[in-house]
Amino acid sequence: MTDSMLIPCPHCSAINRIPADRLHDHGICGRCKKALFDGHPVELGMANFDIHAARSDLPLVVDFWAPWCGPCRSMAPAFSSAAAILEPEFRLGKLNTEEENQIASHYAIRSIPTLALFHRGKELARQSGAMGTDEIIRWVRHHTGR
């Protein structure tokens, strides 16, 4: 029997059970029928943050950012490129700290951009400051051993 993984849909947040050996097969959500992996960061907020951070079997890399932050805006293309490379082994998500200040406050985000790595509800690592695509990928792989 194949182990399965719980994967939240980036579009509707429904939890999908995917066989681990089929993770790379371009799965679709059982509820909304959209792609489970589209190579783009998921927009995170109160409605879906805990689903992706705590209920998913995928490690979640969160970019805590704000629209007025120049370094945040300059890192956005690199973060999107990293999402395309790191999926489906990882989920990347963006959280606007201006709109979701409760979540940012809960995690004591003091500077932006800040990347935080979560797996099954636990924060594994955190890094403040803008990074390029290769730096993001190295940081994620270093802290997960993948």
Q: Is 12 a catalytic residue?
A: no
Q: Which amino acid belongs to residue 1?
A: M
Q: 9, 29, 32, 69: which one is catalytic?
A: 69
137 near 115, Cβ under 8 Å?
no
Nearby residues of 99 by Cβ (< 8 Å), 6 or more positions away? 45
The answer to whether the Cα torsion of 112, 114, 120, 121 is positive or negative is negative
Q: Is 9 a catalytic residue?
A: no
Which amino acids are annotated catalytic?
69, 72
